[in-house]
Amino acid sequence: MEKLIVKQAYTGETLAELEMHDNTRVQQMLSMAQTLHKAGRLPEAQRIEVLQKLANLVEIEHEDFSRLIANEGGKPIRDARVEVTRAISGIRIAIIELGNIKGEEIPMDYTPAGVGHKAHTILESIGVVVAVSAFNHPLNLAIHQVIPAIASGCPVIIKPAGLTPLCTLRLAALIQEAGLPVGWVQVALLNNENAEKLVTDPRVAFFSFIGSAKVGWSLKSKLAPGTRCALEHGGVAPLIFDEYANEEDFVSGVVKASMYHSGQVCVSVQRIYVAEKRMQDLAQKIATVAAGQVVGDAINEDCDLGPLISAKETDRIELWVNEAITSGAQLITGGKRINAVSYEPTVLLNPPKDAKVSTQEVFGPVVCIYGYKTLDEAIEQANSLDVSFQAAVFSDNVQRAMEVAAKLEASAVIINDYTTFRVDWMPFAGRKHSGYGIGGIGYTMRDMLEHKMIVVKK
């Protein structure tokens, strides 16, 4: 039996040794899930009771989950606690959203053909849900994929990231403890071959994917006919800095927004556009704060930046930064590897427009600052890539900020806050290569339901 070794993100110490599932087990999971769906979804009152109990159970284990996130995923313990709080809130949001999801009456007498008929819609569970999750928010991403399925009455099979499966396994155990019958939530520990067999099986009604664009789009192309899906990939998030008086707060905040979880967030600020006359000064201020960040083991209370998820990713970031500097970028701070899995907080000024750090998601503690002559030039550069997720603009001129927001190609534009802003009930989605469909607890619940119209002839 193939083994999955889960290691502490910074020290490499073994946290768990797990048995992976083979294709036989995949088929068993799918059969069980399909059987449960065909038998009919659980009553809404039962689902609500499970979710209420689950929220309380996760809250009891708040610190245990926080330490698990820090150890297996490398997210600083202070930020890990925020993730757990969000996860608990996400469970409760699903309960609220159940009250907002309902069918509707369809008017039928607009034309003579419809006279004498009445119609309304009802919502039914779509069927078996398969979710493939990412490493960077090991609890909250599972919440966003599993909890909507429970709330909507769909059996769900989730494959967590191989590097960070422990939060998902513990969450699944608590879901069962909260009273959800066996089989409605299953956790699959799979290699890539068996994961693809799971995802592409014709019994899958809905596929939820959070991860790299390359993998997500490839899997989408292989889905069985009729399988619906939602893909959430990354971006190269742009922020346009106009005239903004509270510069000190902006600088400290933008370091957090670009370096949070060592930049391993799909909407991390990566490209900052500043008027040419201000770019050097602002870059230096950002660099000063960035250089003061404490890098180390995420479990330590004083840690600001934990490790990268693997040595391979650290290798890649090191290569990209070195290429940018060789090609003309000015290194303001950082630019060096600390150890196998850690990299210094790095600020680059005016890297070439075609450099990897300018065109691809770094997913590391690297932020790039570019000068612009006009706002239209900044907007053009912000829109120049084939990825598009959240964007931001800072300006004391509200009208100008709204004009910039209207021109930015993004699924959300945040004014006077950062691209990382999110609450879990808002729509969250990528455009272009950055994704497909809309995330957010309530929006995902709606994706997992199908409309059925009932027409009655009077």
Query: Is 83 noted as a catalytic residue in this protein?
Result: no
Query: Is 266 noted as a catalytic residue in this protein?
Result: yes
Which one from 167, 229, 266, 303 is the annotated catalytic residue? Answer: 266
User: d(Cα 353, Cα 307) in Å, to the nearest integer?
Assistant: 28
Which one from 72, 83, 97, 232 is the annotated catalytic residue? Answer: 232
Q: Which active-site residues does the annotation give?
A: 232, 266
